[in-house]
């Protein structure tokens, strides 16, 4: 046990000193926070005047163009950085010629969008045809704005024709809404901001992501440290002083500690940032307890797996092909997280909860997405995961012991099974 602690301590300290660790763990939250902060700052500030968005209009009804032009002018006065300009494309004698002209202008780039308004748009069921040509993604938003103003003009004119007050219609259509989150006690309630609802959505993802990053990033370190010791033959000196199990256990323990420290740092940063931005995030203490339990189980499982993989490989490159299946299975909850959050008690979520390597990922996602996860499922998932951890450590210790002194060709799966049977 003493040796395990000595090794764990060394792994912990040596890992803290590596440049990659400092960059990836300390700077990652800073960089992420920085990007979020500056992107929101920069977006709200005027990015400087851009070329106006010009809409060509052929108004066959004859009653809408003036209103549209007025609306565009009013909008442009308020939004000087990106104006919407009106350009009439008329040909009183030949409407078809006007339309041909409009499309030609659109192709030539003289206008950014082209609208043809049917003759009976005000009185009947006439439509408004909107033509675009190779629309840029950055124009999507303003095109939508222009479209809303044009349909708004049509609604206004239809109201006038039918003698309905358009302001009354607006009043009728407007239903104010408010999102209020109530607390445990009767007078505890708070109006939610839009951002808080998004944050609420992201919390489960954050918890799962923590575990994923912890396992993958720190887990890689076990692999590379085993391979370094193996390829530099330090392993022989180590094994003359400690048993293979002590060596493996020490590594896993040390790096589990690193993982917990990193998670604490990241969680604190994320929480602090949210509070600083005025977003209330309420996460129960139990969540942190689960986070630690599932993280430790998941990390020890993968740590043992990666130590075993490291022991049978001679170079990091060689280990990649063995790593792939382990990484692939972890991607399943990553790509289906949205569905899992939407139905945390659905069949899919429940089945994934009991597939040992991804249990921690899925359970964290479910627990933070809903409060009604049956306690039986939580207990069973932890027990199942704990049993898998024991099996994984047992298998890995055998493979580690047999593989660590094998140089040259990587053993086949059949050979590895033979080692397991022999011992």
- Whichever of 136 and 414 has its CB closer to another protein, that residue is 414
Q: Does 331 bind another protein (CB under 8 A)?
A: no
Select from 100, 170, 233, 418 the one that contacts another protein (CB under 8 A). 233
- Whichever of 23 and 383 has its CB closer to another protein, that residue is 23
Q: Does 268 bind another protein (CB under 8 A)?
A: no
Q: Does 16 bind another protein (CB under 8 A)?
A: no
Select from 100, 405, 417, 418 the one that contacts another protein (CB under 8 A). 405
Minimum distance, C-beta of residue 403 to another protein, in the bound complex (Å): 13
SS3 of residue 134 by DSSP: coil
Radius of gyration over alpha carbons of the chain, in Å?
A: 32
Q: Does 261 bind another protein (CB under 8 A)?
A: no
Spatial separation of the C-alpha atoms in residues 25 and 30, rounded to whole Å? 9
- Whichever of 285 and 408 has its CB closer to another protein, that residue is 408
CA proximity to 56, closest of 100, 93, 120, 121: 100
**Part of the chain binding another protein (CB under 8 A), chosen from 167-175, 224-232, 272-280, 387-395:** 224-232
Beta-sheet pairing, 53-59 with 113-117: parallel
**Part of the chain binding another protein (CB under 8 A), chosen from 23-31, 232-240, 293-301, 326-334:** 232-240
Select from 55, 242, 349, 352 the one that contacts another protein (CB under 8 A). 242
Q: Do 297 and 386 form a contact (C-beta atoms < 8 A)?
A: yes
Q: Does 118 bind another protein (CB under 8 A)?
A: no
* Burial (Cβ within 10 Å: 0-12, 13-18, ≥19) of residue 350: middle
Q: Does 6 bind another protein (CB under 8 A)?
A: yes
Minimum distance, C-beta of residue 219 to another protein, in the bound complex (Å): 20
Q: Does 240 bind another protein (CB under 8 A)?
A: yes
Torsion of CA 321, 323, 324, 325, to 10 degrees: 120
Select from 10, 140, 164, 420 the one that contacts another protein (CB under 8 A). 10
* Burial (Cβ within 10 Å: 0-12, 13-18, ≥19) of residue 287: middle
Spatial separation of the C-alpha atoms in residues 24 and 34, rounded to whole Å? 15
Q: Does 241 bind another protein (CB under 8 A)?
A: yes
Spatial separation of the C-alpha atoms in residues 249 and 235, rounded to whole Å? 15
Q: Do 212 and 291 form a contact (C-beta atoms < 8 A)?
A: no
**Part of the chain binding another protein (CB under 8 A), chosen from 14-22, 39-47, 84-92, 313-321:** 14-22
Q: Does 198 bind another protein (CB under 8 A)?
A: no
- Whichever of 214 and 250 has its CB closer to another protein, that residue is 250
**Residues in Cβ contact with 146 at an 8 Å cutoff, skipping those fewer than 6 apart:** 53, 55, 72, 84, 113
**Residues in Cβ contact with 405 at an 8 Å cutoff, skipping those fewer than 6 apart:** 235, 236, 239
Instruction: Kindly list the residues in this chain that would bind another protein in the complex (CB under 8 A).
Output: 2-3, 6-7, 10, 14, 17-18, 228-229, 232-242, 405
């Amino acid at each position: 046990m003493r040796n395990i602690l000595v090794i764990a301590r060394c792994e912990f300290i040596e890992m803290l000193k590596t440049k990659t660790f400092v960059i990836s763990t300390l700077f990652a939250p800073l960089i992420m926070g920085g990007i979020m902060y500056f992107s929101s700052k920069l977006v709200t500030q005027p990015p400087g005047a851009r070329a106006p968005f010009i809409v060509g209009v052929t108004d066959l009804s004859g009653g809408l163009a003036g209103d549209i032009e007025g609306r565009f002018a009013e909008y442009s006065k308020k939004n000087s950085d990106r104006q919407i300009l009106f350009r009439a494309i008329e040909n009183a004698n030949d409407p078809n010629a006007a339309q041909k002209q409009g499309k030609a202008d659109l192709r030539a780039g003289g206008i950014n969008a082209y609208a043809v308004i049917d003759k009976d748009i005000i009185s009947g069921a006439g439509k408004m045809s909107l033509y675009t040509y190779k629309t840029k993604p950055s124009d999507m938003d303003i095109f939508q704005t222009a479209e809303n103003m044009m349909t708004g003009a049509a609604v206004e004119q239809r109201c006038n024709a039918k003698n309905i007050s358009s302001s009354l219609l607006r009043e009728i259509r407007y239903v104010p809404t408010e999102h209020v989150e109530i607390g445990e006690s009767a007078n505890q309630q708070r109006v939610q901001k839009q951002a808080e609802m998004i944050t609420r959505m992201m919390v489960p993802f954050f918890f799962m992501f923590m575990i994923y990053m912890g396992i993958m990033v720190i887990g890689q370190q076990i692999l590379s440290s085993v391979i370094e010791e193996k390829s530099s033959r330090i392993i022989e000196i180590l094994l003359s002083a400690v048993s293979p199990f002590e060596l493996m256990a020490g590594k896993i323990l040390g790096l589990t500690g690193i993982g917990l420290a990193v998670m604490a740092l990241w969680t604190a940063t994320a929480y602090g940032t949210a509070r600083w931005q005025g977003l209330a995030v309420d996460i129960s203490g139990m969540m942190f307890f689960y986070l630690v339990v599932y993280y430790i189980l998941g990390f020890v499982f993968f740590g043992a797996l990666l130590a075993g993989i490291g022991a049978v490989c001679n170079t990091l490159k060689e280990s990649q092909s063995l790593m792939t299946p382990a990484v692939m299975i972890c991607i399943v909850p990553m790509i289906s997280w949205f569905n899992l959050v939407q139905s945390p008690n659905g069949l899919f979520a429940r089945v994934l909860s009991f597939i040992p390597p991804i249990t921690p990922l899925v359970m964290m996602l479910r627990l933070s997405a809903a409060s009604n996860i049956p306690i039986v499922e939580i207990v069973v998932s932890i027990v199942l995961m704990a049993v898998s951890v024991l099996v994984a450590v047992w298998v890995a210790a055998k493979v580690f012991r047999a593989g660590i002194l094998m140089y040259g060709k990587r053993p086949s799966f059949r050979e590895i099974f033979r080692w397991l049977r022999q011992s």
